Amino acid sequence: MRKKIIAGNWKMNKDLEEGMGLVSEISNMLRDEYQGSAEVVIIPPFLHVNAVSKLIADNPRLKSGAQNCSNHKSGAYTGEISAGMIKSCAATYVIIGHSERRQYFGEHNQWLAQKIDAVLEAGLTPIYCCGETLEERESNTHFAVLEKQISEGLFHLSPEQMMKTVVAYEPVWAIGTGKTASTAQAQEIHAFIRGLIAAKYDASTASEITIQYGGSVKADNAAELFSAPDIDGALVGGAALQSRSFVDIVKAMA
Ligand code: PEP
């Protein structure tokens, strides 16, 4: 059975004190209110990863992660953070290829493939983001765009490495816009991605891979999205910045 994962990406929000307060609230609420099966991942800015990991150490449901990492292990790369450093802060997940990294920082598939390798080599789990822009969807090129992102970013991996990778489908037109893909639209793409993985590897590898949906997931649309057979959780941005809205999304996952 593949894992259900709800991850909250804080992006560049929350100072240390605010972040610690938010994590404590989430941890307490989950203890009191959630008996479901999802793993819940807190993904703060780099500076807070160590403190978040320490704070959640007594709550086995909660894990921590980072929003990005270097493709290099160490060296003269001012301002960069390696996967090994993230691991040393007891985090277990790293987002790779978020659309904001692709759009504002020029991260392309070949570079992201190297980052995926760095994350896996450190023994961490990459959450590899893919998704089309509105223009690409309207011109009906979204399937080709997704195929390119998935194949160039991931298909150099061995089957064992692929099984350790999480994919997040995040249509760019739905991120931070309040527009969510309909459940049918999201399910169609998740099944398409799983089909690409099955064609490259095999059906049993594809059936083990967690594919999250991301793009304006809220407490009031989460349950419907999670009812789709190929949607295995969510990567949440805005709604992860408040304990109530984030925990209500988690509670939508059985
Ligand atoms: C995201 O940042 O990955 C995201 C999906 O953001 P939001 O939930 O705010 O659309």
Read off the pLDDT of residues 132-147 as tens digits, 9 standing for 90 and up. Answer: 999 999 999 999 999 9
Mean pLDDT, the chain, whole residue set: 97
- Is the pLDDT score of 21 beyond 90? yes
Give the span between the Cα atoms of 187 and 185, in whole angstroms: 6
- Output the domain CATH number for residue 23: 3.20.20.70
pLDDT band for position 178 (cuts 50, 70, 90) = confident
| Residues across the chain | 254
Who lines ligand 1 at CB under 6 A? 9, 170, 175-176, 214-217, 235-239
pTM of the predicted model as reported, rounded to 2 decimal places: 0.97
Identify the pLDDT of residue 82.
98
Query: pLDDT digits over 82-124, tens only?
Result: 999 999 999 999 999 999 999 999 999 999 999 999 999 999 9
| Nearest atom (ligand 1) to Cα of 216 | 10
pLDDT digits (tens, 9 = 90+) for 22-31: 999 999 999 9
* Nearest-CA residue for atom 2 of ligand 1: 237
Phi, psi of 110 (to 5 degrees): -65, -40
Q: 78 burial class (0-12, 13-18, 19+ CB within 10 angstroms)?
A: exposed
For the question of residue 98 being annotated catalytic, the response is: yes
How would residue 177 be classed by pLDDT, with cut points 50, 70 and 90?
confident
Q: Is residue 185 within 8 Å of residue 145, measured between CB atoms?
A: no
| Residue with CA closest to ligand 1 atom 6 | 237
pLDDT over 90 percentage in the chain = 96
Determine the residue of 175, 221, 241, 248 to mutate for testing ligand 1's pocket, defined as the one with the most ligand atoms within 8 A of the Cβ atom. 175
Please tell me the predicted confidence (pLDDT) of residue 180. 85
Domain range spanning residue 207?
A: 5-251
pLDDT number for residue 1? 85
Main-chain dihedrals φ then ψ at residue 56, nearest 5 degrees = -95, 0
Q: What is the domain count for the chain? A: 1
Q: Is the dihedral of CA 169, 250, 248, 194 positive or negative?
A: positive
